[in-house]
Amino acid sequence: MIRFTWLQFRLRASAALAALAAFVVVLAVTGPHLASLYASSAIAGCHGGTCATAAYDFLSRLAITSPYPIVYELGSGLILVTPGIIGIFYGAPLIAREIESRTFALAWTQSITRARWLAVKLAMTGLAAMAVTAVLSLSYTWWADPISKAVGLGGGYNPPFTGGRLSSVIFATGGIAPLGYAAFAFALGTAAGALIRRTVPAMAVTLVIFAVAQITVPLVVRPHLIPPDHKITTIQSAALNFGNLTATVVPGQPGAWIISSAALNAAGHATSALPAACAGATGLKAQSPGPCMTSLGYKETITYQPASRYWPLQWLETAGYLALALAMAGLCFWRVGRRVS
Amino acid sequence: MNLVIDAAGLGKQYGRRWALRDCSAAIPEGKVVGLVGPNGAGKTTLLHLAVGLLAPTSGSIKVLGANPGEDAAQLGRVGFVAQDTPVYPRLSVAAHLRMGAWLNPKWDTELAERRIGELGLDPHQRAGTLSGGQRAQLALALAISKRPECLILDEPVASLDPLARREFHRSLMEVVATQGISVVLSSHLIGDLERVCDYLVVLVASRVRLAGEVSDLVSSHCRLSGPRRDASSLPANQEIIEESHTDRQSTFLVRTADPIHDPAWTARPVTLDDLVIAYMSRPTAPERTGRPTLKVMS
């Protein structure tokens, strides 16, 4: 069954594997030069406060040095969509196409039980999906290492090099999380195909559910995988977004992921409007609302995940997605075992 | 007698609809069995239940004495050719044979290659580009090369042209002659089956209406025609399958083990075709009582 799965898989995987290999080659060719740019920049000899400036200079220059911005964005885009593509084009047809083209009657009447047929198909294709995503995400993480270091030093103000490791997109394209996404998307596609029994509708359902998961998890689930920390700080003009009084950085916690923040007035009520007394302070002296608000008794409350929780959050999210993938696989076994014809 | 298919009270329900309901059938081993019935009679459902592609909703079915598809060994004992003979369109003929070899421990490589050679199929051709007849032959080659004890075919020739049908049946007869395995094949047309079958099962609305050796069935039925008479006047040992009347004349198709003695009748033999159509169109289980019992005086 392993050989037969490979025979069928080979037909449909060659184009995708070629595209992946091409991208890895691009990373391999441009990566060493990126590393040498980093090594020869002012970051190498920086200490204390000069590091942020050096990192800012490095990233500003990189943002206008072809091909780094485009490879950076292409890479993260590719890692974000690969699990979805796997789910849609390898998961959804796995069972649905056998039913649609009636070949299940051929496949399931060979001298091999259906459970074994499905186990081999799921395991081989699923592991291949995870391996492909792992190669992609690891090579990209290696390639982007100088950039993430510079962002970590506080130099990330120029697009596209802005987000820290815990920001939604960077988190989803680094570490081991993409493996979890790939396993989940593949199993989701397969289960959708087994339940709907038609390839194209199963593909559409896979796309919708996976997209919804990718949007809601960073917004709703990831912030609470570990109970977030809270902090009440003094108002610091440099760390405040005056439009709605949210915090832009957590004082003393570089790289922390801010989940929510608000200003508290002297009575302790949350507010998003600049007090009238301080409104006049804007305009000419843009930085002065901070001291003004502080003098009125305002403080800033911040809910956040510290940067040190990157790996615990990665593991938890990946484990969650793998558990969902196993549940989906279980659904496939149940459905196929009930003889879908 | 050992049974290829032994079904008792078998039913399969999809939602609220019963595809097969309360079907009981005992099909003997060592025959070429034709399963005939109109579309929707439940033939495909019955055969899918027999190869384990479906699980019964009610009742039970045994194939060669075991539960269909219960393990790999049982799957290996039954060869199946599905309706419209599906194959993997993007895989070559040779790849299908490799699939067979990999997935069936009893695979007969020599037999498979010989069959493909005899059919003149190019091993490198993609199965999707084969003609309907060639595809059916490939499906048959795959089903027999796993060396099953019985072969089940679901309307294998329904979509083939007459020449391809004859070729397919010739291949099937060769298999039967050389391997001596039990065969069950279905069709909604008796014409597809009468040349190849020696046993016939007529299935109408999940019920077996008629089952038996083809030669017995033909010899135990005859068509009587003569002056107009009422059905109730026929002797009780003549089971009336079909009757038709004009003003002056009556024609009956009857089943009887005994010779026809009434001189008023002209008795003619029936064809298998007539017989099957008569049973298919017969209302369910007619009960007639109070008919005369005739005794042969000697």
User: What's the pLDDT tens digit per position in B27-69?
Assistant: 999 999 999 998 888 999 999 999 999 999 999 999 999 999 8
Q: State how far the Cα of A179 lies from the Cα of A317, in Å rounded to an integer.
A: 10
Which residues on chain A are in Cβ contact (under 8 Å) with B71?
Answer: 113
Query: Which of A9, A108, A111, A124 would you mutate first to test chain B, the one with the most B CBs within 10 A?
Result: A111
Nearest to A11 by CA among B167, B71, B99: B99
Between the two ends of chain A, the Cα-to-Cα distance in Å is 21
Which residue type, as a one-letter code, is found at position A95?
A: I
Interface subset of A 110-139, CB within 8 angstroms of B = 110-114, 116
Rounded (10°) CA dihedral B211, B215, B216, B218 = 90
At B7 the pLDDT is 94
Other C-beta atoms closer than 10 Å to the C-beta of A291 total: 16
> Among A247-251, A324-328, B23-27, B152-156, where is mean pLDDT lowest?
A247-251
Q: Characterize the bridge pairing of strands B58-63 and B3-14.
A: antiparallel
At B291 the pLDDT is 66
A103 vs B55, B86, B98: nearest CB = B86
> Among A267-271, A337-341, B131-135, B175-179, where is mean pLDDT lowest?
A337-341
B89/A101 Cβ within 8 A = yes
Which residues on chain B are in Cβ contact (under 8 Å) with A116?
Answer: 72
Q: State how far the Cα of A314 lies from the Cα of A320, in Å rounded to an integer.
A: 10
* Closest CA of chain B from A1, distance in Å: 6
pLDDT band at A273 (very low <50, low <70, confident <90, very high): confident
Q: State how far the Cα of B212 lies from the Cα of B214, in Å rounded to an integer.
A: 6
Contacts of B46 (CB under 8 A, 6+ apart): B5, B7, B10, B20, B23, B25, B35, B203
> Among A99-113, A162-176, A325-339, B199-213, where is mean pLDDT lowest?
A162-176
B91/A11 Cβ within 8 A = yes
Q: What is the DSSP letter of A44?
A: G
**Complete DSSP assignment for B159-172:** TS-HHHHHHHHHHH
To which residue do tokens 């680094």 refer?
A174
- Asked if residues A313 and A171 have their Cβ atoms less than 8 Å apart, the reply is yes
Helix, strand, coil percent values for chain A (each to nearest 5): 70, 10, 25
Rounded (10°) CA dihedral B225, B231, B235, B237 = 90
Which helix (H) or strand (E) segment is B223 a member of? strand B221-227
Using alpha carbons, list the distances in angstroms from residue A315 to A71, A128, A140, A212.
27, 20, 19, 21
Structure-block tokens of residue B78? 């039954």
Angle at the Cα of A120 (from A118 to A122), degrees rounded to 5?
65
Phi, psi (degrees; rounded to nearest 5) at A225? -60, -40
Structure-block tokens of residue B17? 């609809």
At A236 the pLDDT is 79
Query: Which of A10, A12, A106, A199 would you mutate first to test chain B, the one with the most B CBs within 10 A?
Result: A106
At A281 the pLDDT is 56
Other C-beta atoms closer than 10 Å to the C-beta of A116 total: 12
Interface residues on B facing A, Cβ-Cβ cutoff 8 A: 48, 51-55, 69, 71-73, 75-76, 78-80, 82-84, 86-91, 95, 98-100, 102-106, 139, 142, 146
Burial of B10 (0-12, 13-18, 19+ CB in 10 A): buried
Structure-block tokens of residue B28? 């003997």
**Complete DSSP assignment for B44-110:** HHHHHHHHTSS--SEEEEEETTB-TTSSHHHHHHEEEE-TT----TTSBHHHHHHHHHHH-TT--HH
Contacts of A152 (CB under 8 A, 6+ apart): A164, A165, A254, A255, A307
Angle at the Cα of A26 (from A21 to A27), degrees rounded to 5?
95
Other C-beta atoms closer than 10 Å to the C-beta of A50 total: 13
Structure-block tokens of residue B173? 């007869």
Average pLDDT, chain B: 89
pLDDT tens digits, residue range A183-240? 999 999 999 999 999 999 999 999 999 999 999 999 999 999 999 999 998 887 777 7
Q: Mean per-residue pLDDT for A127-145?
A: 92
- Asked if the model's pLDDT at residue A288 lies above 70, the reply is no
Which residues on chain B are in Cβ contact (under 8 Å) with A109?
Answer: 51-53, 69, 75, 78-80, 82
Structure-block tokens of residue B87? 């194959």
At B296 the pLDDT is 61
pLDDT exceeding 90 applies to what percent of chain B? 55
At A289 the pLDDT is 73
Which residues on chain A are in Cβ contact (under 8 Å) with B80?
Answer: 105, 109
- Asked if the model's pLDDT at residue B285 lies above 60, the reply is no
**Complete DSSP assignment for B166-192:** HHHHHHHHHHHHHH--EEEEEES-HHH
pLDDT band at B199 (very low <50, low <70, confident <90, very high): very high
Residue ranges per domain, chain B?
Answer: 3-215, 220-280
Q: State how far the Cα of B199 lies from the Cα of B32, in Å rounded to an integer.
A: 6
- Asked if the model's pLDDT at residue A285 lies above 90, the reply is no
- Asked if residues A131 and A82 have their Cβ atoms less than 8 Å apart, the reply is no
Asked if A1 is an interface residue toward chain B (Cβ–Cβ < 8 A), one would say yes
Which helix (H) or strand (E) segment is A129 a member of? helix A114-143
- Asked if residues A235 and A278 have their Cβ atoms less than 8 Å apart, the reply is no
Residue ranges per domain, chain A?
Answer: 2-224+311-337, 229-308
Fold of B3-215: Rossmann fold (3.40.50)
- Asked if residues B284 and B227 have their Cβ atoms less than 8 Å apart, the reply is no
Nearest to A105 by CA among B75, B73, B74: B75
Q: Mean per-residue pLDDT for A43-56?
A: 83
Which residues on chain A are in Cβ contact (under 8 Å) with B106?
Answer: 111
Which helix (H) or strand (E) segment is A337 a member of? helix A310-337
- Asked if the model's pLDDT at residue B94 lies above 90, the reply is yes
Q: Characterize the bridge pairing of strands A270-271 and A257-264.
A: antiparallel
Helix (H, G, I), strand (E, B) or coil at A167: coil
* Closest CA of chain A from B242, distance in Å: 37
B103/A7 Cβ within 8 A = no
pLDDT band at A284 (very low <50, low <70, confident <90, very high): very low
A8/B91 Cβ within 8 A = yes
At A240 the pLDDT is 79
Which residues on chain B are in Cβ contact (under 8 Å) with A339?
Answer: 52-55
Q: Mean per-residue pLDDT for A118-145?
A: 93
- Asked if the model's pLDDT at residue A272 lies above 90, the reply is no
HSE (side-chain half, CA atoms, 13 Å) at A248 = 14
- Asked if the model's pLDDT at residue A242 lies above 60, the reply is yes
HSE (side-chain half, CA atoms, 13 Å) at A334 = 9
Q: Mean per-residue pLDDT for A142-164?
A: 83
Average pLDDT, chain A: 88
